[in-house]
Each structure stands twice: as C-alpha cells, then as structure tokens.
Chain A
Amino acid sequence: MSTLQVSIYRYNPETDSAPYMQEFQVDTQGRDLMVLDVLHLMKEQDNGLAYRRSCREGVCGSDGMNMNGKNGLACITPLSEVVKKGKLVLRPLPGLPVIRDLVVDMGLFYKQYERIQPYLQNDTPAPAIERLQSPEERDKLDGLYECILCACCSTACPSFWWNPDKFVGPAGLLQAYRFLADSRDTATRERLTELEDPFSVFRCRGIMNCVAVCPKGLNPTRAIGKIREMLLANAT
C-alpha cells in the first residue's frame, strides 16, 4: 500500500465563508495513476467534491486545473510527472472566479474567444464544391486548429490575470491567427483592425507561460508574433 498526500482547494460559496485547503490520503496501490483517477478516488471519500471532467483522454478540455503550481489536464497528467516529495496540491485554474472547488467560471475566457470571431468569413459567392486549399495553405493551419480551449494557457498568463476583459489571451489569439492564416478567409483586414489597440494583442509580454503549459504542445507566443508581423505589414 502506498498513500499519496493530496491537498485540494475547497470552496462552496453556499456554506463556506472563505476558501480553504483540505488534506486527503489516497491509496494509489503503487500505480502511476493520472491525476483525474486520484480525483475519482477522493470523490469516493467525499462525494461533495466538485470538478469538471468528460472524455478523460485529453480531448474535451474540461479538466484543466493547477497541479503542484502548473496548469494542465488532470486526465493526461501522470502522478510521476507532477508529484513532488509524495505530495500533490490541486487548485482551480488561476485568475478566474471560482464557482465551487475546482470548477471555475469560464465566462471571460469564452467572451474573449467570441470576440475574435472564431469562424470562417468569406464574402465571395460560395462555389459548387468546397473552397479548395493547396497543401501548403493547409499546412499553415497546423499547430493552430488543434486547440481544445481548456484555458490552461490563458489562466497561466499574468497579462490575462490583470486584464481579462481587454487582453484576448493566448488561447483566443491562437484562434485569431488560425483564421488570419486561413487562405479561405477574406475578413483579414477587419480582423486586424480589431486587434491593433494596446490591449488585445500587445499586452502580451512574451513570457511564454502559455507555451510551457499547453497540454497539446501548441505555441500561442509564436502565433502572437505572426499577428504582430501581419499588423505591421498592414499598417506600414
């Protein structure tokens, strides 16, 4: 038998006056479980524990959380990767309002995503077949379209913590570039105009926390650099 000590953030606004950390002893039977499995074992001990999960294989993006200080998806993070000195500390994604325990209000995150108009816009008449792309044009979307909107990156970003209402954040900007880079989209100029203010893109200070935490291995900082290049090319 091998026990893991887990310290987890608890807050139920209906009964608690303030958030607190609760200690759990979890028997892992020596297995290298995923953090999500540990949460299930904790829920067996206390079924009032609240967290989001769905696909449990790193596709849905529901179980983003802060594990020993680093954001990630609980379902694809093995204990061997995060546990330090036999202890695991679980907290909700930083910077967003907590609804209960590990469940956060993602409203601001989605609002910023909505702002960049994350859908293809094309003002030319629709062709009888699909709008075709060359393999090279399609290649430009690699590393952009794979985002699952788990919010690990944006909630690891201090610029997003301080100005979540004005700075789009790494997740939104990765998607903004996904549509700027799409050869089938004709709204490039309008999209760029929406981004040239001092907050939306330019609040990025390039510290690359987003790159360090992305569970899909994507690079929002590079996408933001590309947006800056497009803004510069458009305005000079």
Chain B
Amino acid sequence: MVTNITNFGRSGLSDWLVQRVSAIILALYTLFIVAYLLLNPGLDYATWSGLFAQTWMRIFSLLAFVSIAAHAWIGLWTVTTDYLKPTGLRVGIQTFIILAIFVFLVWGIQILWGA
C-alpha cells in the first residue's frame, strides 16, 4: 500500500469512482446547457436569469460545480504526481491547485445564489 495525503479521497478506489460519477454529471450538465441554448434561439437575459432562479437548476448547477471541483482535483493531482518530481514544487503546485479549486467553488456558489 502506497500512502498519500494530497489526493482527493485518500484512496485510489474512491478517487476512481468519484472521477467516473463526476464525469457523467458533467456530461449531462453540458448536454443540458447546449440543448437549452439550441432550443432557445434569441435568448434574452430575463429567460436566462429565470432558468437559474429555479431551485432545481441551482441544485443541478451546484452539483456540476462540485463535480468539476472534484474532477479537477483528482485529474490535476494525478498529472502533478506523474510529471513533477521535486517534492517542494509538487506539494506547492498541489496546494495552489486545491486552493484555486476552493476559491472557484465558493465564487460559483455566490454567483448562483447572489443574483
């Protein structure tokens, strides 16, 4: 068993499962947004704002945000462990990535509920 402290779920199995589930959620969200834009040509602000005012859309969006946060953490953590060999540089970049993901997530929540 190889120990790890900076990966998302502390276990390869949970990271692997989260990566797959989050990928499906992100695929569904992308399909939904693209379909919505295609079915609503000449979209105006009121319609777009109205879509995001509904609770189910906020839940769906937050789910997508959380998914992309987890997905990016797991994916970028893997990239850093493959290619960044000096420990200081690797831990530094991993910390930066995790903090940036946190900032983007909070920012996303603020946009969803702030307007």
Residues of A at the B interface (CB closer than 8 Å) are 159, 162-163, 166, 193-203, 228, 231-232, 235
Contact = CB atoms under 8 A, between A and B. Distances in A.
B16 to A, nearest CB: 5
Given A162-B81, A232-B13, 6 more contacts: A194-B1, A196-B13, A197-B2, A200-B2, A232-B17, A235-B13
Nearest to A200: B2
The 3 closest A-B pairs by CB, nearest first: A202-B12, A198-B12, A199-B2
24 contacts: A159-B82, A162-B82, A162-B83, A163-B82, A193-B1, A195-B1, A196-B11, A196-B12, A196-B13, A197-B1, A197-B3, A197-B4, A197-B11, A198-B4, A198-B7, A198-B11, A198-B12, A199-B12, A200-B12, A202-B13, A202-B16, A203-B12, A228-B16, A235-B13
A235 to B, nearest CB: 6
A150 B7 CA distance: 33
B80 to A, nearest CB: 11
Contacts of A203: 12, 78
Interface of B: 1-4, 7, 11-13, 15-17, 77-78, 81-83
Residues of A contacting B: mostly: loop
A228 B2 CA distance: 16
Contacts of B4: 197-199
Contacts of B16: 202, 228
A159 B2 CA distance: 15
B2 A166 contact: yes
Nearest to A158: B82
A197 B12 contact: yes
A196 B81 contact: no
A192 B55 CA distance: 42
Nearest to B3: A197
A199 B4 CA distance: 9
Contacts of A166: 2
B40 to A, nearest CB: 38
A217 to B, nearest CB: 27
Nearest to A236: B17
B17 to A, nearest CB: 7
Nearest to A165: B2
A126 B40 CA distance: 72
